[in-house]
């Protein structure tokens, strides 16, 4: 499970974009709804200090509403989202196998 509070503020942008892409475009998720809401609130609260090349794709109104529905995703975000999702599936499988 990802602890949103330990993520660097500059990494909040990619987590938000990847989470939004997976949820709205592929009907998948790595973060829970609660984690996504926490991520949006933390990103909004640190907005003026955050530096990231894709920050311009996010508007503060979306963060306030807790949605990423209207974001225009580029191929880099799409590829990273899919890789993150696949990696999380593999990690869950390994975790479940070690518990068995």
pTM over 0.95: no
Those residues with Cβ within 8 angstroms of residue 73's Cβ, 6 or more apart along the chain or in another chain: 17, 21, 25, 57, 81
Rg over CA atoms, the chain = 14
Range of the domain at 77: 4-99
What's the burial of 35, exposed, middle or buried (CB within 10 Å: 0-12/13-18/19+)?
Answer: middle
pLDDT value, residue 100? 54
Domain count, the chain: 1
Average of pLDDT values for 87-100?
79
In this structure, what token pair is assigned to residue 23? 């949820």
Contact 31, 2 (CB under 8 A): yes
């Amino acid at each position: 499970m990802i602890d949103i509070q330990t993520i660097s503020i500059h990494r909040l942008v990619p987590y938000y974009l990847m989470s939004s892409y997976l949820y709205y475009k592929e009907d998948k998720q790595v973060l829970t709804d609660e984690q996504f809401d926490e991520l949006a609130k933390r990103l909004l609260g640190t907005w003026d200090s955050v530096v990231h090349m894709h920050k311009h794709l996010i508007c503060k109104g979306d963060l306030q509403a807790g949605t990423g529905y209207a974001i225009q995703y580029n191929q880099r975000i799409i590829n990273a989202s899919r890789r993150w999702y696949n990696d999380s599936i593999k990690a869950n499988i390994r975790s479940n196998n070690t518990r068995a």
